[in-house]
């Protein structure tokens, strides 16, 4: 399929697909009249990359994730486990921020930047 169709099916801009191609995250299967041709599974791979980005993986980590699977190793498992730990740590930090913000609303201060809860 042509890059425009891959773009439509994956929801990614053609420039993003070309960038991912430069990084080796996706490869065309050939060319026709100078146009890139991609396999039918290309949109799914791109949606997988998008999901990994949303989970907080860097493009380098995504390359390792996908490479590990292609090589048949289990490195992807340790990458996912590490990302779970990172996400859970971030969640705890954000929950603490939300608590502080709620408390600042109940503090009774006239100026938020003067609130002893926000800036002890």
pLDDT in tens, 92-103: 999 999 998 888
Q: Which domain holds residue 60?
A: 3-107
Q: Rounded mean pLDDT of the chain?
A: 92
CATH number, domain of 63, equals 1.10.1660.10
Q: How far is CA 15 from the centre of its chain?
A: 17
Contact 86, 95 (CB under 8 A): no
Report pLDDT digits (tens) over 40-81. Answer: 999 999 999 999 999 999 999 999 999 887 777 888 889 999
Query: Based on the structure, what is the number of domains in the chain?
Result: 1
Looking at residue 115, what is its pLDDT?
A: 83
Is 33 part of any domain?
yes
Instruction: Name 24's Cβ contacts closer than 8 Å, sequence gap at least 6.
Output: 63
pTM of the predicted model as reported, rounded to 2 decimal places: 0.77
Is 116 part of any domain?
no
Is 112 part of any domain?
no
| DSSP secondary structure, 18-65, as one string | HHHHHHTSS--SEEETTEEE--TTHHHHHHHHHHHHHTT--HHHHHHH
Q: Is the pLDDT of residue 5 over 80?
A: yes
């Amino acid at each position: 399929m042509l890059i425009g169709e891959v773009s439509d099916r994956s929801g990614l801009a053609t420039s993003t697909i070309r960038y991912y191609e430069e990084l080796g995250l996706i490869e065309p299967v050939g060319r026709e009249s100078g146009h890139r041709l991609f396999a039918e599974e290309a949109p799914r791979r791109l949606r997988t990359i998008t999901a990994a980005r949303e989970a907080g993986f860097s493009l380098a980590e995504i390359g390792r994730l996908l490479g590990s699977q292609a090589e048949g190793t289990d490195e992807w498992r340790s990458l996912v486990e590490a990302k779970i730990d990172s996400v859970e740590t971030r969640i705890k930090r954000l929950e603490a921020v939300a608590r502080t913000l709620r408390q600042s609303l109940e503090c009774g201060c006239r100026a938020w930047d003067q609130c002893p809860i926000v800036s002890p």
